[in-house]
Structures are given as C-alpha cells and as structure tokens.
Chains A and B, each alone.
Chain A
Amino acid sequence: MPGAMTQLQVVYALLLRETKTRFGAHKLGYLWSVVQPLLWIGMFAGFYYAFGRMAPPGMSVVAFLATGIIPYSLFRETAGRSLSAIEANKGLLFYPQVRPLDLVAARVILEGVTQLLVLAVIMGSVALYEGSLRIESAIEVIVGLGLASALGASFGLVCCGLSVYSRSVEQLYPALLRPLFWLSAVFHPVESLPKVFRDILVLNPIIHCIELVRDGWFPGYDARHVDAWYPVQWILGLSFLGLSLERTARRRLELS
C-alpha cells in the first residue's frame, strides 16, 4: 500500500514540523502547553484545600482533579488546534500529497502526546507522594482519553469546515466552549449529582470520557451512568459532518 505509506510519511513530517514551529515561535511554547494544565490543577487543588473540600473517598484531591481536567483539556486543546490546523498550514496544501486531514492528524497526535505527558507528570508526582501507584484498568483510562481526543478532533473538524464559510465561527467558538467546562462534571463524580442535573449532564459526551478515565483509574469508582458507546456515536456523527464539510470546503480553499 504505497498510498498509506506516503500518508504516514506526510503525517510524520508534519508532526516534526509542528513541534518545531511550536518551539520556535516562543522559546517556551511547548513548555507552556505542559505547564498550563498543571497550573489549572494546582489552582483548583488550592481552592479545595482552602475551603476544606474533600475529593471522593479513596482519591487524593490532585488525582481526582487531574482525571477530570486532563481529559477535558485533551478535548478542548485538540478541538482548538484542529480548528486552526488548515488555516495555519494552508501553504502546505501546495504539495499534492499533503491533504487537509493530514494537517489535522498531526496536530491531534501532538496534542495527545502533550496531554499524556501532563498526566504522567501529575500522576507520577501523586504516586511518589503517596508512595504507591494503582491503576485499576489502564485500558479503560486509555479508552477514555482516546475518546476525548477523538471527540475533540471531530468537533474541531466540524468547526474548521464551518470556519471556511464564516469567520464568525472562530469568534463564537470560545463562547461555546466556556460553559462546557462547567457542564462536564470536572469537579464531581456524576454519581454524586442530583438526578435532575445528572439526567441532563449525561447528554454531554465529554462526561463519559472523564468518567471512563476515573473508573479506570480509581478502584471502586462508581461509574454506573457511563456509556462508552455514547461518545462514540457523537464522534461518528461529528466526523461524518466534518468530513463532508471538508470535501466541500476544499474547493473554496483552492481559491485563496
């Protein structure tokens, strides 16, 4: 399959290049994308301690927050970087073998690796502090993170396709995402929420990703409302829409 090989070559070359442009623009560019989620988690952990709030039994505050914030960041950052992937690298479409989707794929991979790094740093520190590391089901954690990343990529792809038609998508995008953070049960296990809220919140596919990560990480975590297929359906739907938009948008891209 020479076609698949070429595409792998292209994505690999793009990946190296993305890393370089991120490093290059600001010397601390890449470091910042690692430090930022660390700061978030640190800040919220500070609030927890200051107000005497506890994490659910059997979990440390930092670990509990990290398992919420990292899958969410993975979703948000992947979506954001996918959204701008084509606009930022339009010049590369000049090479016939570089396809718009390759530009998105390279960014999705880079973002995934970055967030995994953050997760490893935090959970490693927690494990060192507590003196032990227990993960109930690594597979479930990976599935949860993978779904969060795929959800971000497919959502970003839809926004990216739409932004070719209307610039206002890029302005609306942050306004759309801000409330989503508070609707993703980053600070609560879904089980602990009142039923009225819970029934509404479980419509948000990100929640299922976060709950999967928590269920996989903490022994005895109660994730009875989780449905891994639910975010998969979103991903399939959004991808279908995003890819169709990409098809029609490609012709418009050529104009510029």
Chain B
Amino acid sequence: MIELHNVTKAYATHTGSNVVLDSVSVSFAPRTNVGVLGKNGAGKSTLLRVIAGTEQPDVGTVTRRGTVSWPIGFSGGFNGSLSGEENCRFVARIYGQEVDEVVGFTMDFAELGEYFYMPVKTYSSGMRARLAFGLSMAIEFDAYLVDEVTAVGDARFQQKCRQAFQERSGRSAVIIVSHQLTTIRDYCEHCAVLNRGQLHYFSSIDEARRMYEAA
C-alpha cells in the first residue's frame, strides 16, 4: 500500500518554477499492477522517485506500507568502476539480504557472462538495464517501481521479465511508468495518466487510453 497525499514537487528552471506534480493524491493498492502513462517530460520519473523516497516532495506526504524497491531503470545506482558483482553485493547489503543468494540470482537472471565480473562502465546501456533488472528481481519487494521497461534487452529478455513479474503477482505489486500503452497493457490491471502535474487514476486501461490520447 502506497499513498501519496497532496504531493507537490517543483523544479527551479531558467524560466521559473516548473511544477511537475501539483497536489497529487493517489493510493496504490497492494498486489495491484498499475501503469502510469505520460508524455516525455511529464514527470514520470520524478513521480517514481518520490514514491520510492529517493526524492522528498516539496509539500505533502508519502506513506509506504511494506517494502518498496528503488526506481528500477537504466540510469543511476551503479558505481562504474566496480564490477556488476560488486555492485550487487553492495545493494544486497544495504537491503539486508543474503549477499551470495542475491549475487547468484542476478548472475543467472542478467545473463551477462564474463561481463558480470567487469567494471559496469564497460557495459552497454542494455547490459546495465539487465543488471538492474536482475538485481531488483533478486530481492523480494512488496512493490516494484519500474521506469520504462520497453527498452530493456531483446524480446526474449522481456519475456523473462514478464514471467518474473507474473510469478510474483500474487505477492507483489508493480508500478510501471511509460509513454507506451502497449507496455502497460502487458503488465498492468489499472492505469493512471500523468499530465500537467495532475494524476488521473483509472481502473480500466481503455479509459486511460482515451484520456492519454486526448491530452
């Protein structure tokens, strides 16, 4: 259960303050996969970071019951000079997990071969995303926050991710932000649309699509 209450978040830009989230109140139910649709620059990633707690809202509160992942995507969170394995160890430790289990799982899932033991700065962006995905799957969260899954790996790897989420669907929720409806259709039951600082929540994806296409 994740609740945003009256959350406002703005960034200072050259042209003044850019309000990304404007008094957003929303509640994400446990074990319910929700997609958040938004155009580029609508503030999807910011929303995800606020939900995760990576960033604090300017106004309002975020309540989390249960464990919530970091925003899983392709950017951030890895130290380039450390290997994939070393990065996994670090993350396993800060989440209080069994280190060797996490490393073993991630190695199998991410399929990086020898690269798993090489510095992350030598990875392609697809490889980084695979590492991030495998690592997040290695840890049991009540809610997984996913940023734009569409670009992760080839069709086979995507199939694998879908499967991993399906296995967890009875236990965990996934919140995915994307600008593509197809991704959200694949994963989610409910859908919200983020537009001009407002978040509109729909329990049917088709309703969300109509709103998104009209925006």
A interface residues, Cβ below 8 angstroms from B = 5-6, 9-10, 12-14, 16-17, 20-21, 24-25, 89, 91-98, 250, 254-255
Contact = CB atoms under 8 A, between A and B. Distances in A.
Given A91-B76, A95-B54, 20 more contacts: A6-B96, A9-B96, A10-B94, A13-B90, A21-B81, A21-B82, A89-B79, A91-B78, A93-B54, A94-B54, A95-B70, A95-B91, A96-B53, A96-B54, A96-B70, A97-B94, A97-B95, A254-B55, A255-B11, A255-B12
B86 A20 contact: yes
Interface residues of B, number: 24
B173 interface: no
Interface in B76-110: 76-79, 81-82, 86, 89-91, 93-96
B70 A17 contact: no
A98 B93 CA distance: 12
B7 interface: no
A12 B93 contact: yes
A20 B150 CA distance: 34
A25 B81 contact: yes
A24 B81 contact: yes
Contacts of B82: 17, 20-21, 24
Contacts of A9: 93-94, 96
7 contacts: A14-B90, A16-B90, A17-B82, A25-B81, A91-B76, A91-B78, A94-B70
B93 to A, nearest CB: 4
A22 to B, nearest CB: 11
Contacts of B71: 94
B176 interface: no
A10 B94 CA distance: 5
B52 interface: yes
Interface of B: 11-12, 52-56, 68, 70-71, 76-79, 81-82, 86, 89-91, 93-96
Nearest to B71: A94
Contacts of A21: 79, 81-82
A242 to B, nearest CB: 19
Contacts of A95: 54, 70, 77, 91, 94
A9 B95 CA distance: 8
Nearest to B55: A254
A6 B67 CA distance: 13
B211 to A, nearest CB: 29
Contacts of B78: 91
Contact of A13 (B55, B68, B77, B94): B94
Contacts of A89: 79
B9 to A, nearest CB: 10
B120 to A, nearest CB: 10
Contact of B79 (A91, A96, A255): A91
Contacts of B86: 17, 20
B54 A13 contact: no
The 10 closest A-B pairs by CB, nearest first: A96-B53, A13-B93, A94-B76, A94-B77, A13-B94, A10-B94, A95-B70, A254-B55, A96-B54, A17-B90
Contacts of B91: 95
A137 B176 CA distance: 61
A97 B12 CA distance: 25
B79 A16 contact: no
B74 to A, nearest CB: 12
Contacts of A91: 76-79
Contacts of A10: 94
A10 B93 CA distance: 7
Contacts of A94: 54, 70-71, 76-77
Nearest to A97: B94
